[in-house]
Every structure is written in C-alpha cells, then in structure tokens.
A and B are shown apart, each in its own frame.
Chain A
Amino acid sequence: MTKTITEINEKIKKGDVVVVTAEEIINIVEEKGVEAAAQEIDVVTTGTFGPMCSSGMYINIGHAKPRIKLGGGTAYLNEVPAYCGFAAVDIYLGCTSLPEDDPRNRVYPGKFEYGGGHVIEEFVAGKDIKLTATAYGTDCYPRKKLETWINIKDVNEAVLFNPRNVYQNYNVAVNLSNKLIYTYMGTLKPGLGNANYCSAGQLSPLLNDPLYKTIGIGTKIFLGGGVGYVAWQGTQHNPTTKRKDNDTPCVPAGTLAVIGDLKQMKPEWLRGTSFQGYGTTLTVGVGIPIPILNEEILRHTAVKDKDIYASIVDYSETYPQVKPGVLGEVSYEQLKSGKIVVQGKEVPTASLSSYAKAVEIAENLKDWIKQGRFLLTEPVASLPGPESGLTFKLLKERPIE
C-alpha cells in the first residue's frame, strides 16, 4: 500500500480525508493492524508545547521620516535588546534576550520575569511595544535617535524564525548534589529530589517520524497557532544517536528550524516563559502532520509512551562539566506515572512540556485538515538522517596567543 501527498491533498479538498492524532492512531493500529490502518488513515497529526530557547522574531519596522539606519546601532523593544546587524529597519529579537538593567543572577536565583519571549507574546497579542533605537547617522540615513510605539498590525513584516525547535526527545534532569539547583529543566531538588522531563512522547512530532521520512525542508506545520514551515534542520541536529528497535532515539537527536508569519499566530501558543535562576525563553506550540504514505510511516506514528525511552542525566555535575555517563533510561510511560527509580531511589517526576496542550495542537491541526483549510506539502529536500553521518560536536577551544 502506498499513497502520495497529491492523492491525500485531493482527499482533503474533497472533504473525505481521514485524519487522526498520534494518540488516537495507537488504538486504531492495535485494533485493526498496520495494514488496514495504513489503508484507512491518510494523515496523523502530532503536537508539542514546550519551552524552546532558540526562538525569536524578525520585524521590519518601516522607514522613519527622516530615515534612520539601525544596522550598526542599537534597538530595544520594551527595554529588551534586539539585534540590529541587518539592513536599515530590520531587527531580530531572541526570546532569551534580557533588559540591560535586569539583575540576572547577581541576586541568586534571578527571577527573570521579563525578556524577549515575553515581548514576543505581547507583540503577537497586539499590544503596543516601545521601540527605542540609536544610530550613528549617515548621509542617506541622517537620524540618530528613535523612540516610538510599534504594533504588529503596522510593521511591514513580523516573522517568527526559530533556529532550533521541536527536539526529538530530551534528557530527564536530576540533581545528585546536596544543594538546590536552578536549571533550564526547572528547579532540581538535592539528592534526587525530583526528575524533570520535556517531551510530548508519543505525540511529539519527530518521535512519530523518527527517521525523517516525511518531515523535511518545506513541510507545512502548525506554528504558534498559525501556519509555518520547516526551514532547515535545527541547530545541533544530531541524527546519528543511539536508537531503539522502533527507530526512536533515547537521547536528544533531531531538531528543526521553523519559520512562519507571526501576524497570523496567537499569544496562547507563544508564551513568554521564566526559569528561576536560569533566564527567559518562549514556550512554542508546534504541530506537524504526517502523511501516511506507506505502512512503515504508519508503524512509526503508532509508537507508544512505553516504547520511547529518555536518558536520565545529572544536572549538578555531569551536564555542566560535560562528563560522560547517564544514570539510566526510562520510558515515557514510567515518567508519566509520576515516579521513576534512579539509583534505587523512588523519584517524583514532572514535565516542562504540556501534554494537554500538545493534544490540543494535534486536535486543532486535525480540524484544519478535515475542514480543508490546510493542505500538506511535499518536502523540497530531506533532513539529514542517520545515514548522513552528521554528528553533534563540542567546541574545540584553541588558545589565543
């Protein structure tokens, strides 16, 4: 049995496409078997809603009168510094950017109440944002200062462009030390006091297409409540990691760079987020449709929490000092039960990624496809897979004489 994306799109247009979520497909395959399910189901939708630090937006604010060239100057959005190293009025704001007067961790642990992620959420919500900028002035761009309110509806372009999102699996973070630590995986209590994980597991996009057979460059996706596309493999894309028999990796592996029109997105799916003692970020909602082109693709989408494993990593010493060694592997079924056993100790678990919201994203995307509002795209190029030999490198430091 094989189908093409063109055939599936014809069914979407006619309104007789069969779409289910990556959670629903599990029971369907158990009841009907892979062969029958692959015949019947056209698309499986996935979803994830978690903090993703390599996220940001670029905007073109429009030319001021007289003109100002922000390139080489400075720009702040609600006091949060944006990057200006582009043409005159293009700026980029990353979600981890912080106001210069934020005390950061000088008062430990820092609160990180407001940063780039929060500006993005407010901008998408339609709130006015204060832009303050300076420039050096040129003959063609004479102005040196700018202070104005800007609004998403008035800027020329507002684009969400995230160099690394949708991690294919992630570590389970624990703390083996005897002091409380504050990490990007949340607050970790001493002596294995808790274990935090961050993946939607069986609903997570890249765990449902573990070998990137359908998700590629150009794949159309749900991004922040609007429509986006996969732009490239994400930074740190690491397809050659150890995998289980079902092809899912048991350590962080593939990633995606994604892009989309911020003007269509919604603040409930792009949320400014604060990690005490760590910094700010953006919680991003992403949903990816997987066309069921053949039985192998379907089998991958039917993966269950109990068959996806994550590695337990100590964030007090092993992670910060880049030491080898994991404390074991646990399945998402175990993680979701509320406790796991690490070094013989029962440890309570908590998630940073919202499974309930991941379900909502997969359901939303399912509705869009069923209503004929969302057609699938054929990838223009594949992502590097396990056969690519691509690996994730550490920095090789070379002393500067």
Chain B
Amino acid sequence: MISKRIVLKFPHRLVDQPIVCNLAKYFDLEFNILKAYIIPKEEGLLILGLSGEEENYNKGINYLKKLGVIVQSLSQGIIRNSTRCTHCGVCITVCPTGALVLDTHTRKVHFYENKCIACELCLPACPLRAMEVHF
C-alpha cells in the first residue's frame, strides 16, 4: 500500500474531462479531494490524497502524466521558509490537522508535511509570513 498527498495541475485542454474518476475505475486507487480550483489561464489545480497498491499507484501516476497533467508532491507545495520562521508558535492553534506542532522541550516549531492538507490557514496567521505556497 502506498498513500501520498499530491498536487495535480490540469492544462486548459483537460479541464472539462473526467480524469480523476479513472484513477478509481482503472487503477483501483482511492482518492480524497482536499482542494480544487481553477487558476488563471484556466488551469485546474487539484490537491488529492491518493492511495492504493504501489504498482497501481505508479500506473495511475503515469496515466496522469501521459495525459499532460503535472504531478507534484504536496510537500513541495507548502513550504516553511526556515529563515523567516522565528518558532514563536502562533500557527499551532490555527493549523487544523496538527501539521504544525511546537516541541515543548526545544520550543521549536515542527512542520509535518505529511499531515498538511494545504488549507493555507497558516499563511495569513503567520506574522512573519514564513509559510509559503508554491503550486
């Protein structure tokens, strides 16, 4: 089993086609939509939790790539700028999934990318603007 959070960017020509349902239909993959929107130039952006057997997962990703979908790991999308973060920890009560946690021993903030759902609530809540989106 493999389970990952990914960011998919659909070019203009694919925006009106049913693609994600094929991941379930042909590759036996489970998907959980975390976020979906249309960005300027009519590109579609979809953030998914995707899981299934490793072989099927890889086939599914290849299917997407062949169609022209850009596939990116979510952890490359939401980034903590370590030079701006001061580890104050004001973000920790804003993050709904516990992806931002203050270590009570070191008093430093940890960012667990695998827990991040890209809700982006931390972005305006961080006074130092240390959280960045790179989609």
A350 with B104, Cβ < 8 A, contacts A271-B128, A274-B129, A283-B127 known: no
Rounded to whole angstroms, the CA-CA distance of A211 and B37 in the bound complex is 57
Contact A273 B128 (CB under 8 A): yes
Q: Specify which of B88, B91, B102 is in contact with A353 (CB 8 Å cutoff).
A: B88
Contact B104 A357 (CB under 8 A): no
Rounded to whole angstroms, the CA-CA distance of A276 and B122 in the bound complex is 11
Chain B contact residues: over half helix, strand or loop, or mixed? loop
Contact B124 A350 (CB under 8 A): no
Contacts of A194 in B (CB 8 A): 93-94
Contact B129 A113 (CB under 8 A): yes
Rounded to whole angstroms, the CA-CA distance of A113 and B124 in the bound complex is 9
Question: Is B89 part of the binding interface, using a Cβ–Cβ cutoff of 8 Å?
Answer: yes
Contact A352 B127 (CB under 8 A): yes
Question: Is B46 part of the binding interface, using a Cβ–Cβ cutoff of 8 Å?
Answer: no
Q: How many residues of A contact B (CB 8 A)?
A: 34
Chain A 109-120: CB-based contact to B (< 8 A → 1; otherwise 0): 101010000000
Question: Is B4 part of the binding interface, using a Cβ–Cβ cutoff of 8 Å?
Answer: no
Rounded to whole angstroms, the CA-CA distance of A357 and B86 in the bound complex is 7
Residue of A nearest to B86 (CB): A354
B10 CB to closest chain A CB, in angstroms?
A: 29
Rounded to whole angstroms, the CA-CA distance of A274 and B125 in the bound complex is 9
Contacts of B124 in A (CB 8 A): 109, 111, 187, 276
Contact B89 A351 (CB under 8 A): yes
Question: Is B92 part of the binding interface, using a Cβ–Cβ cutoff of 8 Å?
Answer: yes
Chain B 116-135: CB-based contact to A (< 8 A → 1; otherwise 0): 00000000110111000000
Question: Is A123 part of the binding interface, using a Cβ–Cβ cutoff of 8 Å?
Answer: no
Contacts of A50 in B (CB 8 A): 88
Residue of B nearest to A196 (CB): B90
Interface pairs A-B: 5 shortest CB-CB: A194-B93, A355-B107, A356-B87, A354-B88, A354-B86
- A→B interface (CB under 8 Å): 49-51, 109, 111, 113, 186-187, 189, 193-194, 196, 268, 271, 273-276, 281, 283, 336-338, 348-357, 359
Q: Other CB < 8 Å A-B pairs besides A193-B93, A273-B128, 8 of them?
A: A187-B94, A187-B125, A336-B107, A338-B102, A348-B92, A350-B89, A352-B88, A352-B127
